[in-house]
Amino acid sequence: MSKSELAIMRNEIYVRYGYIFIKNGKMDQYFRKQDWYHAEHKNVDRFLNEIEIYNI
């Protein structure tokens, strides 16, 4: 997989919890195009479980 694909995979973990990315950054631009993405939180650390933390 490419670096870009791996970055998207890692960030999908954050996205599930509504992480707000840097406005107009690569991840913001990518995930804003997804119908299911709703930016809600600046910090989602408290939502992450052990497996998600390991995978990040």
Mean pLDDT by 10 residues, the chain (56 residues): 94 97 97 96 97 94
pLDDT score for 3: 94
Q: What pLDDT, on the 0 to 100 scale, is given for residue 21? A: 97
Q: Does domain 3-55 have CATH number 3.30.465.10?
A: no
Q: Are 26 and 8 in contact (CB under 8 A)?
A: no
Q: What is the pLDDT of residue 48?
A: 97
Q: Can you give the pLDDT at residue 34?
A: 96
User: Is 12 buried (19+), middle (13-18) or exposed (0-12) by CB count in 10 A?
Assistant: middle
Q: What is the pLDDT of residue 14?
A: 97
State the pLDDT at residue 32: 96
